[in-house]
């Protein structure tokens, strides 16, 4: 069975031109007719997003009937976090809050959904890791603990913005430093495989780099993958992958 996956940091719908418009982001995603969409930096009822329920609206725009969102922080009288949109019913959903090394840092979470595709049980993880390396490493160790509790016969697909190589310099200021091998990916590689995308996926005046990707369990087959140019409709590119389940 074929399953098509997209992961995208939508930056609450904000494009490089400063316009907030999830409709144009969803239009690009819909060209690929995915079965599963992982979303990061998605808003619900915030003022900056026009008090809209972005996860439900995005779900309708890409014609996928099931969706889940969990809030990591409250923001502007609304919520901010990660989402998953699915062609298949979601039987279970949980949000794991990730460790912080400083209570002043932004709280991050890992959204996990479970779906069934035929007889296959699939665990989906939408990931948005910290801009601090020590917190990313702690999060990856926590992810491994979660993964190790999943039945070995079940499938795992994890997509998101891993912020690998990113360092926060201050409010709204970041830098990207490429490395030959990232400790965070090495940790996750104990349990999962990763698509080998290398094109830059994050773009800003402060830096750019390849920080978005997809991991998957060894009991499925990767058929193809592609970096999708969002044409400036987000400060991230999307990642597309097809798997044989």
Express each pLDDT in 183-241 by its tens digit: 999 999 999 999 999 999 999 877 899 999 999 999 999 999 999 999 999 999 999 99
pLDDT at 66 over 80: yes
Per the rule left: phi > 0, alpha: psi between -120 and 50, beta: everything else, 69 is beta
Residue 136: phi and psi, rounded to 5, are -65, -40
Provide the β-strand partners of residue 29. none
Average confidence (pLDDT) over 88-99: 97
- Residue 191 to residue 147: CA distance in whole angstroms: 8
Q: What is the pTM of this model?
A: 0.96
186 and 136 in contact (C-beta within 8 Å)? no
pLDDT at 3 over 90: yes
Minimal CA–CA distance to 141: which of 100, 184, 105? 184
Provide the β-strand partners of residue 176. 166
Domains of the chain (ranges, CATH numbers): 2-244 (3.60.10.10)
Contacts of 155 (CB under 8 A, 6+ apart): 120, 121, 122, 123, 216, 217, 219, 220, 245
Three-state secondary structure string covering the chain: CEEEEEEEECHHHECCCCCECHHHHHHHHHCCCCCEEEEEEEEECCCCCCCCEHHHHHHHHCCCCEEEEEEEEEECCEEEEEEEEECCCEEEEEEEECCCCCCCCCCCEEEEEEEEECCEEEEEEEEECCCCHHHHHHHHHHHHHHHCCCCCCCEEEEEEECCCCEEEEECCEEEECCCCCCHHHHHHCCCCEECCCCCCCEEECCEEECCEEEEECCCCEEEEEEEECCCCCCCECEEEEEEEC
- What is the share, in percent, of the chain residues with pLDDT greater than 70? 100
Provide the β-strand partners of residue 202. 209, 236
Average confidence (pLDDT) over 61-90: 95
Q: Which two tokens stand for residue 230?
A: 């969002």
What's the pLDDT score for residue 73?
Answer: 85
pLDDT at 172 over 80: no
Contacts of 104 (CB under 8 A, 6+ apart): none
- Residue 165 to residue 129: CA distance in whole angstroms: 11
- Residue 104 to residue 125: CA distance in whole angstroms: 25
90 and 114 in contact (C-beta within 8 Å)? yes
């Amino acid at each position: 069975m074929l399953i098509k996956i997209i992961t995208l940091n939508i930056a609450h719908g904000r494009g490089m031109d400063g316009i907030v418009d999830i409709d144009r982001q969803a239009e690009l995603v819909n060209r690929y007719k995915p079965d599963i969409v992982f979303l990061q930096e998605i808003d619900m009822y915030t003022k900056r997003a026009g008090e809209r329920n972005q996860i439900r609206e995005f779900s309708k725009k890409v014609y996928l009937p099931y969706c889940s969102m969990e809030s990591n922080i409250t923001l502007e009288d609304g919520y901010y976090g990660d989402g998953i949109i699915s062609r298949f019913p979601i039987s279970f959903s949980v949000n794991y809050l990730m460790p912080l090394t400083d209570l002043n840092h932004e709280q991050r979470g890992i959204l996990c959904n479970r779906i069934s595709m035929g007889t296959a049980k699939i665990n989906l993880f939408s990931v948005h890791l910290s801009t601090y390396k020590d917190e990313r490493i702690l999060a990856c160790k926590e992810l491994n603990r979660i993964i190790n509790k999943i039945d070995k016969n079940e499938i795992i697909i994890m997509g998101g913005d891993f912020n690998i190589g990113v360092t926060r310099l201050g409010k709204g200021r970041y830098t990207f430093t490429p490395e030959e091998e990232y400790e965070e990916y090495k940790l996750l590689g104990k349990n999962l495989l990763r698509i080998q995308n290398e094109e830059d996926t994050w773009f800003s005046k402060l830096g750019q780099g390849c920080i978005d990707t997809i991991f998957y369990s060894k009991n499925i087959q990767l058929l193809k993958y592609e970096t999708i140019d969002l044409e400036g409709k987000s400060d991230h590119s999307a990642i597309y992958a097809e798997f044989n389940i």
